[in-house]
Amino acid sequence: LEKIIETDKGASQLGEIAFVPHSSPISQSGMLFYNGLIDENASNHIALGFAYKPSLKKGKEMSDEEFMAAGGNSSLIHIDCMIGSGEMDVDGMLEDETSEPIMRKGEWAFDV
């Protein structure tokens, strides 16, 4: 891990947070597809390194400089780490320091 985060300045920074319900078809298949773009949809995950512009509101419309100033991250790497489970609860923290449930027991805590 140390060598990975030393790749460049952005490698040690958060590049992505993704919430994926435990009931997702990829998760329920129980299969490993050996394709990161498919396998990452089996579980909640975080990534170190490169952040994709669509991850920020209007990010696709931003120049690289605007994206970085808005909190985007650039790196040669983007490594996903799966962290989800059917037991995971996730809360969003609001500006007034209250919390709002996002996931309960690995599933959305609201209707989508």
Number of domains within the chain: 1
pLDDT tens per residue across span 94-110: 999 999 999 999 999 99
Q: What is the C-alpha to C-alpha distance for residues 58 and 32, in angstroms, rounded to an integer?
A: 33
Instruction: Please check whether residue 89 is in contact with residue 96, taking contact to mean a CB–CB distance below 8 angstroms.
Output: no
pLDDT tens per residue across span 75-97: 999 999 999 999 999 999 999 99
Q: What is the C-alpha to C-alpha distance for residues 30 and 62, in angstroms, rounded to an integer?
A: 38
Supply the pTM of this predicted model: 0.81
**Reduced to 3 states, what is the DSSP secondary structure of residue 33?**
coil
Q: What is the C-alpha to C-alpha distance for residues 78 and 14, in angstroms, rounded to an integer?
A: 9
Report yes or no on 66 lying in a domain: yes
Report yes or no on 9 lying in a domain: yes
Domain boundaries, position 64:
2-85
Instruction: Please check whether residue 82 is in contact with residue 46, taking contact to mean a CB–CB distance below 8 angstroms.
Output: no
Report yes or no on 63 lying in a domain: yes
